Structure 1
Amino acid sequence: MDDPEFAATRMNVETAVTHLKNCRERMDALYHKPVFDEWVLISLVEGKAAVLAYVGPRAESFAQKIHADSGPMYAAMQGKKYSVGDFEFVQEARGSRFDACIKAGESVYLLANNTFGSMAELRADARWREAQKPFVGLTEKFRADPVV
């Protein structure tokens, strides 16, 4: 794994943020309004979360509540084994609680949130069918080139 050519092909945080911003723009355009207005890229090592990047409306305050806000997602993921590129949704997370998670690397996760509603509400709109395609495309980018 110390091969310089291999290391050069692994996605870094900056590239991951570019991909997620592009995904967000495409999803919002297809949905005709914001789908996930908050995105957080975190690293989980030995049970401790480190924020790698944040895009959203709570830049000044989200870090203080990240543990509580990720509680429903953590509960949904408990006991399951995820490979890079796999994702999970929480149907009834509301407000600042995270609605979606993608395993973006071996110890890197992308959390997404619609601070105005829930996944159940997002999915009730027929436009969700098309808007989820860029999200799935993002999962495939991570599967092909995990974030390190």
Structure 2
Amino acid sequence: MSKQAEYAALIRRYFATCNAGDHAELVSCFTPDAVHYFPAGLPEIPWRTAETIASKWVWCVENLGSQWTIEKILVSHDSPEAVIEWTHWKGKLGTALRGDEWYIFDEHTGLIKEIRAYYASPADKEVAINEIVDFDYAGRGYHLEPATGGEQ
């Protein structure tokens, strides 16, 4: 099986274990020090460690009736990364949230070491720059201001 197929299969397994609320299986999808980043507005973010990520998703299944569907998966052909579109169905609330996530995999173990979530929702007008919380944009080489001239 190719690395791309392995990464896509792991994402599908991760979503299946989220839907099942299976803490042990969720933990097994991640490196122990994994981080899940989110946009502003949620409590206690980002979620750090495989144990924390698993516990938070189990809480969502038990308390919100959460279930997730994967809409699309794209896996890079030359780096340990993938991006997906998903829908988070909150059955007990009668609502749903759509969004994207960027995945980074550990090249040695093949496990998920980072997820960055982006929501298809209105921007927070109280925040000058809408970003996922506690993500090192500067350290990762992201633009910190608009490009000028022909720069991209």
Which category of TM-score, normalised to the shorter sequence, fits these structures?
Answer: 0.3 to 0.5
TM-score, length-scaled by structure 1: 0.36
Q: Which has the larger radius of gyration?
A: 2
The structure in which a higher percent of residues are helix is: 1
TM-score, length-scaled by structure 2: 0.36
